[in-house]
Structure 1
Amino acid sequence: MNLVLLVCLAASPETCREERLLVGYDLADARSCMMGSVPIIAEWADAHPEWQISRWKCGSDANARLTRNYN
Structure 2
Amino acid sequence: MLLLLSICLLSDPSRCREERIDLSFEARSPTVCLRHSQSALAKWQAEHPEWHVNRWRCAVRGSEPRDL
Structure 1 outlier segments of 4+, above 6 Å: none
- The structure with the greater share of residues assigned to strand is 2
Q: How many residues align?
A: 65
Quick one: which amino acid aligns to residue 50 of structure 1?
Answer: E
Structure 2: gaps spanning 5 or more residues: none
Structure 1: gaps spanning 5 or more residues: 67-71
Q: Following TM superposition, by how much is the alpha carbon of 1:63 offset from its aligned partner in structure 2, in angstroms?
A: 2.7
What is the aligned-residue RMSD (CA, Å)? 1.4
Quick one: which amino acid aligns to residue 65 of structure 2?
Answer: N
Q: Following TM superposition, by how much is the alpha carbon of 1:24 offset from its aligned partner in structure 2, in angstroms?
A: 2.3
Q: TM-score, normalised by structure 1?
A: 0.82
Distance 1:22 1:10 in 2: 24
Q: TM-score, normalised by structure 2?
A: 0.85
